[in-house]
Amino acid sequence: MPMWHVHYPRGVYDAADRKAFSARVTELYHGRAGLPRFYVSVAFHEYEPDQFFVGGEPAERFVRIWIDQIAYQNTDPERQRRWMGTLNGWLAAFLTERGLSSEIHVDNTPTDFWTIDGHLPPPVGSADFERWVAENKTSPVGMSTSDHAGA
C-alpha cells in the first residue's frame, strides 16, 4: 500500500490526466519496486483556489501530494533522498513541466495495523507475496498454489 492523496486546483488535471498520473504512480511501485498493482491507490482532491492557501495566499498553481507508504518501508537517509529524486523526476510531466509549484511528503507508516480485504499482507519476497503480485489480488496467506487453485 502506497496511498497517494493529490490535492490540486480546479482545472489543473482532467480525467485523462488523472488516469495517466495514477498509471505513472502504479508503474513506479510495480515496475521499480515489484509491488502488486492493486497495492497502489491514488485519490485526487480538487479544490477551489480560495479553499487552499500557501503562505496565507490562495494556491492557484500549487499541487500538494501526501503519500502513505506501508508496504515498502524506506528508513535509510540516502535511499530516502534517491526516492524523493525519483518521485520528482517521474512526476515532472504532471508538475514542473506544467509550471506548477508542488510539495511532496512521504509517511512511512508501520505495517502493524494494515490489512487488505481482511488479510494481513505477506512479507515481500515470500511465495504468498509473489502469488499476490502475479494474480494482482489478495488471497489467504499460507495457502499453497494447489490449495489456492481450488479456492
Q: Does the structure show a pLDDT above 50 at 103?
A: yes
Query: Has residue 67 got a pLDDT over 50?
Result: yes
- At residue 143, the pLDDT reads 62
The H-assigned helical ranges of 28-76 are 33
DSSP letter, residue 28: I
What are the C-alpha distances in Å from 129 to residues 74, 102, 136? 18, 34, 10
Please report, for the chain, the start and end positions of each structural domain, with discontinuous segments joined by +. 2-114, 119-151
Q: Is the pLDDT of residue 150 over 70?
A: no
**pLDDT value at 66 more than 50:** yes
Size of the chain, expressed as the number of residues it contains: 151
What CATH code is assigned to 2-114?
A: 3.30.429.10
Query: Mean pLDDT throughout 15-40?
Result: 95
CA distances from residue 49 to 8, 14, 17, 94 in whole angstroms, order as listed: 9, 16, 19, 18
CA distances from 123 to 8, 42, 71, 111 (A): 34, 23, 9, 10
pLDDT reading at 146 higher than 80: no
| Res. 12: pLDDT tops 80 | yes
pLDDT tens string 27-38: 999 998 899 999
**Residue tagged 498493482 (cell numbers):** 37
Residue 54 pairs with which residues in a beta bridge? 57
Identify which of 58, 48, 36 has the alpha carbon closest to the alpha carbon of residue 128: 36
Q: What is the pTM of this model?
A: 0.86
Measure the CA–CA gap between 30 and 40, rounded to whole angstroms: 8
Kindly state the cell numbers that stand for 59: 494556491
Which residues, at least 6 apart from 82, have a Cβ–Cβ distance to it below 8 Å? Answer: none
Lowest pLDDT segment from 56-70, 76-90, 118-132, 136-150: 136-150
Cα 100 to chain center, whole Å?
Answer: 20
